[in-house]
Amino acid sequence: MSGELVLVTGGSGFVGAHCILKLLDAGYRVRTTVRSLEREPDVRAMLKVGGAEPGDALSFARADLLSDDGWPEAVAGCDFVLHVASPFPVMMPRDENELIRPAREGALRALRAARDGDVKRVVLTSSFAAIGYGPAHPDGSPFTEADWTDPDADVTAYVKSKTLAERAAWDFVDHEGGGLELAVVNPVGIFGPVLGKDVSSSIELVRRMMSGSLPAVPRMFFGVVDVRDVADLHVRAMTDPAAAGNRFLAIAGEPMTLPEMAHVLRDRLGPAARRVPKRVMPDGVLKSIAVVVPSLRQIIPELGRAKPATHEKATRMLGWDPRSNEDALAATGESLVRLGIVH
């Protein structure tokens, strides 16, 4: 293990940076892709916040999800690839292909380069979005890795992009992969310690609650998982022989409503959470607002809908033991305060 080289795509992102931290701590050498090599100081600064100053153990390669340039060089000499990079904007684009193309084509570029570069295994970061938007289970049982989202249903561009990208990845490995192995991690909403001021969509939700910009929160449910546990699951899926050919749901506990999440922040953070809303926005009010704010319309069907899921497979097969929802949310808020993102 020690000294093996791992490519992490999207090292400037929230999950990518935490994957790099986990790999460095385990003794791997890491190369990471960025769209511009000018991002290297930013990535190193994030890792320093996370407690690592890797020096020569970390190198950088320029590669873009929508271009073939740089991918052969990025995978050269690598034993494994964690393909984490994928677009996840705070606001959904007008054209769904702005998300679908880079997600699908980027996954295929990473897999093709890994196959041609004699990489042992690729771990793809997919999402619960590729699992939990198909038919609900009539008996109320949790979603599992056997479930798939229907991309032809009325789903958001992001949900469709993650589903089509993961489907394309499995299809590629089945038909063109040669000896390349694939494992997939499907996280729910990812929270936990922030390493820099460019925050992900999940973290932005907590930031808005803590900054007081949300006077009330709707009755929406979110699955929760800590980013450190997501990174740990990636490394387990990379190294365990049994993981090849499998998907792994990354979720800590039962889904939580936004009011429940707000309560956790107030309870765990004290005065730092003084602006976190206590009011619950009635469903009817949100529906009225959505008439004039189109970006809200996509969440209306999700009001009050819990989507339970289970990490039983990851625990049984890989020994994965995630932190609690409460610990993940508290770590999010604490890091936002520590970095001065909220005051």
- What CATH number has the domain bearing residue 30? 3.40.50.720
pLDDT at 94 over 80: no
User: In terms of Cα–Cα distance, which of 261, 239, 136 is closest to 181?
Assistant: 239
Distance, CA of 103 to CA of 71 (rounded, Å): 15
> What is the mean pLDDT of the segment spanning 34-48?
96
pLDDT at 148 over 60: yes
Domain count, the chain: 1
Distance, CA of 252 to CA of 335 (rounded, Å): 19
User: DSSP assignment, residue 51?
Assistant: T
Give pLDDT, residue 134.
76
* Residue range 272-312, pLDDT digits in tens: 999 999 999 888 887 887 676 665 666 677 777 889 999 99
Q: Is residue 264 part of a domain?
A: no
pLDDT at 87 over 80: no
User: DSSP assignment, residue 93?
Assistant: -
Q: Is residue 54 part of a domain?
A: yes
Q: What number of other Cβ atoms are within 10 A of residue 343's Cβ?
A: 9
Q: Is residue 141 part of a domain?
A: yes
pLDDT at 27 over 80: yes
Q: Which of 26-30, 202-206, 320-324 has the lowest mean pLDDT?
A: 202-206
- 159 exposed, middle or buried (CB, 10 Å; 0-12, 13-18, 19+)? buried
Q: Is residue 238 part of a domain?
A: yes
Distance, CA of 6 to CA of 239 (rounded, Å): 11
User: DSSP assignment, residue 295?
Assistant: G
Q: Let me know the angle formed at the C-alpha of 161 by 156 and 162, rounded to the nearest 5 degrees.
A: 105
Distance, CA of 130 to CA of 64 (rounded, Å): 23
Distance, CA of 200 to CA of 341 (rounded, Å): 13
* Residue range 99-130, pLDDT digits in tens: 899 999 999 999 999 999 999 999 999 999 99
Higher-pLDDT residue of 283, 73:
73
User: In terms of Cα–Cα distance, which of 158, 17, 148 is closest to 95?
Assistant: 158
Q: Is residue 232 part of a domain?
A: yes
Q: Is residue 274 part of a domain?
A: no
25's tokens: 């701590």
Q: Where are the alpha helices (DSSP H) in the chain?
A: 14-25, 40-49, 71-75, 97-116, 157-176, 201-211, 227-239, 258-269, 283-292, 312-318, 325-338
Catalytic residue positions, numbered = 162
Higher-pLDDT residue of 87, 309:
309
Distance, CA of 295 to CA of 305 (rounded, Å): 19
52's tokens: 């690592």
Q: Is residue 130 part of a domain?
A: yes
User: pTM surpassing 0.75?
Assistant: yes
Pairing state between β 221-222 and 256-257:
antiparallel
Q: Grade residue 211 by pLDDT with cuts at 50, 70 and 90.
A: very high
Q: Is residue 161 part of a domain?
A: yes
Q: Grade residue 317 by pLDDT with cuts at 50, 70 and 90.
A: very high
Give pLDDT, residue 201.
84
Distance, CA of 81 to CA of 171 (rounded, Å): 18
Give pLDDT, residue 295.
58
**Whole domain around residue 14: which residue ranges?**
5-198+222-255+308-323
Residue with tokens 């679908």: 100
Q: What number of other Cβ atoms are within 10 A of residue 296's Cβ?
A: 14
> What is the mean pLDDT of the segment spanning 20-49?
97
pLDDT at 90 over 60: no
pLDDT at 243 over 60: yes
Distance, CA of 208 to CA of 69 (rounded, Å): 38
Mean pLDDT of all residues in the chain? 92
Give pLDDT, residue 294.
63
